[in-house]
Structure 1
């Protein structure tokens, strides 16, 4: 899952980054509405977390702009304005959900997962490929009920490949799925994560292989 956080408070943004990345969620951070609109236009996100009180205006004003552009990105409004009239205003302006500050990280995660399960954004809770079973909600891969010990980046690679199982995934798409805009990425970082994931799948006898086409992309498929 790739999330766009629109929040101007550094401490809140840092806390949210720690909470979400700990659950294998990739997060990009926009400090104002202008940056958020540009990032939403350039990249594909699964959910936006949107604060209302931002330096360049009311956060709710961004929602009709995105909808007018045909962007149906699910939006969770996160704000200190948590009274009933404020929640109603947010939902009436096109927000998909509303969460008032302060909040528990567990509730935020649950609401993000709920948004991902809505019809327009349907995601399988689990898939099976070869002898591997992957749980998207808990980000866990297992072979014959034995959990694989995967790093966060390896999990993100596996998720991206499983979502297009049997099809070539362009390298640029994998990069977007595995690294946030703030990550310092070495030239061969993606190849290193793919190589380690490939080895772990082989060691676990998962019955899967990752094929690579240099300069094009990568393909996850069942072993012949």
Structure 2
């Protein structure tokens, strides 16, 4: 399932949008401010952004410019109550990939998001890899050469983030957000259970990569000889 970030401060509209996107097989995390959106984007390799311009802490284009200045090419659909030509041009120049004025039909919004998710691979890598591992997102299979094993959805999202970060340390909270979203409540040991299963699956396919616990910091992929 694809996962996007919706930055929208109108609760009812955000709820309706989430309902429409989930029905189309698209998972959604929702935040209502620029600062919390930036934190979420740094934690998760989202496949698209849906960004409202009128947010409590400023114009959403401020966030979009920050994303583009950081070298992130995640596709972005900008929503706005403004429909003047110069507003659309301003949004596109800030780095938007598409622009949808309010009010809009939900089926059109969903169609535009799905179009962004079909963007070429250089905008959002489909099958991340690192070391001897490659994750096939469509099938949920983790490969080491010609050996493979199927991952549960939460396991796949965790592995996707670890592979995306290569051997950088990922915080526990970021892995939980990747696996279950920002708004879904999870039990305290849910991540530990998922990591235990992933470690067993790495061994099952003979990978030299290990999920190491970097004490006091988080988790990272490490070669077997370097894993703690």
**TM-score normalised per structure 1:** 0.68
Q: SS of the counterpart of 1:169?
A: coil
Alpha-carbon distance, 1:29 to partner: 1.4
Number of residues of Structure 1 aligned to a counterpart in Structure 2: 202
CA RMSD of aligned residues (A): 3.8
Per-residue CA deviation, residues 2-42 of structure 1 (Å, 9 max, x unaligned), is 63213542333222135223xxxxx3214xxxx23242244
Question: Secondary structure in 2 aligned to 1:148?
Answer: strand
Distance 1:124 1:115, change over 3 A: closer
d(CA) in 1 for partners of 2:158 and 2:85?
A: 36
For 1:155 and 1:88, locate their aligned partners in 2 and report how far apart those are by CA, in whole Å: 42
Tell me, which stretches of 5 or more residues in structure 1 are unaligned?
Answer: 22-26
Q: 132-141 or 173-182, which moves further after superposition?
A: 132-141
Secondary structure, aligned partner of 2:182: coil
**In the aligned structure 2, how far is the partner of 1:16 from the partner of 1:87?**
28
- What is the rounded CA distance, in whole Å, between the counterparts of 1:14 and 1:71 in structure 2? 26
Q: Mapping of 1:25-174 within 5 angstroms?
A: 27-30=28-31, 35-44=32-41, 46=46, 47-50=48-51, 57=54, 62-66=59-63, 70-72=66-68, 74=74, 75-77=76-78, 89-93=87-91, 94=94, 96-98=96-98, 101=105, 102-103=107-108, 108-112=113-117, 114=119, 117-118=122-123, 123=125, 125-130=127-132, 132-135=133-136, 140-174=141-175
1:175-215 alpha-carbon deviations (Å, 9 max, x no partner)? 34334221102111111111111111212223322222444
Superposition deviation, residue 87 in structure 1: 8.0
TM-score, normalised with respect to structure 2: 0.67
